[in-house]
């Protein structure tokens, strides 16, 4: 995305320090379409809503991906509101009867069953509704598994059915008159960087699923390999080799016209790169020999770095304006820790990162913040204002409007919508009215933004 034009727009329309998420829907659309096109025949790509459940994200991906993976009845509602006819698959380790009923009523393509008890409850709920519920058995494989940031299987966790209990689960589901077995679900790892290793892992899933189905004498329709395709935040110049991964799938045992559908449910890989978190530096200070840049924002907006314990990559955007009548704090050529506005020493987004220069009033642009950012953060801790959420969309195609409309915000403290007075024209997409976005997420035409700000 054009960082210069976006930064100018954010600064021009803020009446306080800049703090925003910016999502490039054009980049998302192109990236998702390329990912789907690279998959071999017999494969499906679902989007894991947990990575970013903003409505413009869902609407952009609808019609490109094969469907949406959700983890709650609330996420079912989000998908149905934004993409009413999109296929849905439903996972999660603690589904209530109400959630199972919502899945049955919504006509999901599969519920990923996590235990024998859940199978019994799903059958009971479906029977009470007079419906049949398609299920896939989520299996917690025995290790060892490849190394990744998070592991949901290969060790004792709350996820899935122990591999040793699969025969019993298959026997049970065949006795449940209101359940239809569609296959198996594996989501063993999160943020795996090794494309060749991931392809081998998927091949192992297919081999096991075929063996279990054959032993039980049941058809195998779907093998869901989960997500887990990673982003290496320490080396953004080395993205996951999706093309190589897809080539390895073609040579493997899954998919194709003769095999079961090989399904993937990716979140981070699809949306991380389309988003940025932008925050203004409020202060630059030194404490016991260590330098800190303190920003308007923090982990209550962008929890991922603290959750995973990494320094998130960022770029310093210099801002030359300085309106105070006293010296501007700043530092050159030293490691800097980026800390937020919370009353917690854990409110850190990046630690000891060398910078050429950073000053109060500069902006920090955190790259690849489109996944597991706002959606997983503790938004209301200390009741700070929420960040703005701006969606750049070159397909908006709406008549020109004033930038005050395109960057219009809801005043969350007062609960009333307000507009910023700025002269430059820009386009707002009418498909996301302000009253449908509680925190005033807005869609802005990317090309108009660039032209109106001279980018």
**Tens digits of residue pLDDT in 72-127:** 999 999 999 999 999 999 999 999 999 999 999 999 999 999 999 999 999 999 99
- For residue 159, what pLDDT is reported? 75
* Residue 128 lies inside a defined structural domain of this protein: yes
pLDDT at 257: 64
Q: What is the pLDDT of residue 428?
A: 32
In a domain, 306, yes or no: no
The residue with greater pLDDT, 396 or 420, is 396
Determine which one of 19, 43, 221, 343 is catalytic. 343
Strands 222-224 and 261-266: parallel
Q: How much is the pLDDT for 227?
A: 84
Residues 293, 364: contact at Cβ < 8 Å? yes
Q: Distance of alpha carbon 253 from its chain centroid, rounded?
A: 29
User: Which whole number is the average pLDDT over 228-242?
Assistant: 90
* pLDDT for 433 beyond 70: no
Task: Report pLDDT digits (tens) over 38-80.
Answer: 999 999 999 999 999 999 999 999 999 999 999 999 999 999 9
- pLDDT, residue 146, reads 59
Q: Is residue 47 part of a domain?
A: no
pLDDT for the residue numbered 3: 81
Model pLDDT for residues 368-400, shown as the tens digit of each residue: 999 999 999 999 999 999 999 999 998 755 332
Quick check: is 192 in a domain? yes
169: in domain: yes
Q: Domain for residue 439, yes or no?
A: no
Residues 6+ apart with CB under 8 A from 120: 172, 176
19 catalytic, yes or no? no
Tell me the pLDDT tens digit for each residue of 238-261.
999 999 999 999 887 665 666 799
What's the Cα-to-Cα distance from 452 to each of 16, 311, 320, rounded to whole Å? 22, 34, 21
Query: For residues 77 and 383, what is the distance between their CA atoms, to the nearest angstrom?
Result: 27
The whole-model pTM stands at 0.86
Is a pLDDT exceeding 90 seen at residue 410?
no
Domain span at 209:
87-266
pLDDT at 153 over 60: no
Average pLDDT over residues 322-344: 96
Question: Is residue 248 domain-resident?
Answer: yes
Place of tokens 């100018």: 8
pLDDT in tens, 162-195: 888 999 999 999 999 999 999 999 976 667 778 8
Cis peptide before 144 (omega within 30 of 0): yes
Mean pLDDT confidence for 148-161:
65
The CATH number that applies at residue 132 is 3.20.20.10
What is the rounded CA–CA span in Å between residue 275 and residue 239? 16
Q: Would you say residue 252 lies in a domain? A: yes
CA atoms of 261 and 224, how far apart (whole Å):
8
User: Which three-class secondary structure state does DSSP give residue 389?
Assistant: strand
DSSP for residue 453: T
- CA 447 to CA 455: how far, in whole Å? 9
Q: Above pLDDT 90, what percent of the chain? A: 68
Band of the pLDDT at 298, cuts 50, 70, 90? very high
- At residue 449, the pLDDT reads 46
Cβ atoms of residues 367 and 322 within 8 Å: no
User: What pLDDT, on the 0 to 100 scale, is given for residue 252?
Assistant: 76
Domain count, the chain: 1
For the chain, what's the residue count? 455
Q: How sure is the predictor about 152, in pLDDT bands with cuts at 50, 70 and 90?
A: low
């Amino acid at each position: 995305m054009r960082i210069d034009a976006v930064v100018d727009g954010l600064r021009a329309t803020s009446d306080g320090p800049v703090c925003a998420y910016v999502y490039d829907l054009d980049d998302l659309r192109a990236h998702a379409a390329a990912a789907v096109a690279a998959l071999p025949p017999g494969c499906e790509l679902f989007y894991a809503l947990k990575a970013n459940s903003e409505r413009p994200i869902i609407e952009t991906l609808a019609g490109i991906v094969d469907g949406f993976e959700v983890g709650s009845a609330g996420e079912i509602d989000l998908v149905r509101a934004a993409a009413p006819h999109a296929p849905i698959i439903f996972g999660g380790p603690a589904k209530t009867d109400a959630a199972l009923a919502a899945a049955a009523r919504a006509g999901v393509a599969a519920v990923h069953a996590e235990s024998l008890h859940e199978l019994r409850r799903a059958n009971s709920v479906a029977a009470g509704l007079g419906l049949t519920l398609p299920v896939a058995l989520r299996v917690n494989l025995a290790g060892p598994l490849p190394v990744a940031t998070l592991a949901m299987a290969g060790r004792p966790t709350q996820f899935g059915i122990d591999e040793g209990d699969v025969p019993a689960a298959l026997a049970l589901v065949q006795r449940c008159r209101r359940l239809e077995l569609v296959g198996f679900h594996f989501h063993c790892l999160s943020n795996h960087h090794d494309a060749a290793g991931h392809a081998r892992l998927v091949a192992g899933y297919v081999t096991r699923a075929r063996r279990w189905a054959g032993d039980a004498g049941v058809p195998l329709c779907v093998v869901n390999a989960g997500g887990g395709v990673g982003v290496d935040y320490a080396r953004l110049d080395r993205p996951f080799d999706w093309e190589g991964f897809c080539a390895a799938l073609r040579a493997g045992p899954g998919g194709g016209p003769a095999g079961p559908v090989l399904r993937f449910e990716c979140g981070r890989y699809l949306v991380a790169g389309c988003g940025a978190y932008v925050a203004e530096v409020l202060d630059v200070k030194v404490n016991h020999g260590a330098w800190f840049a303190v920003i308007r924002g923090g982990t209550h907006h962008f929890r991922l770095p603290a959750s995973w314990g990494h320094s998130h990559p960022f770029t310093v955007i210099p801002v030359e304006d300085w309106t105070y009548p006293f010296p501007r704090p700043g530092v050159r050529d030293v490691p800097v820790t980026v800390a937020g506005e919370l009353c917690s020493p854990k409110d850190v987004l990046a630690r000891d990162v060398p910078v050429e220069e950073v000053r109060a009033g500069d902006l920090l642009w955190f790259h690849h913040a489109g996944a597991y950012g706002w959606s997983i953060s503790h938004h209301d801790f200390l009741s700070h204002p929420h960040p703005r959420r701006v969606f750049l969309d070159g397909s908006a195609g709406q008549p020109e409007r004033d930038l005050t409309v395109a960057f219009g915000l809801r005043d969350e403290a007062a609960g009333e919508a307000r507009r910023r007075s700025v002269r430059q024209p820009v386009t707002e997409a009418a498909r996301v009215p302000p009253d449908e976005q509680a925190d005033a997420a807005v869609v802005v035409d990317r090309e108009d933004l660039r032209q109106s700000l001279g980018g």
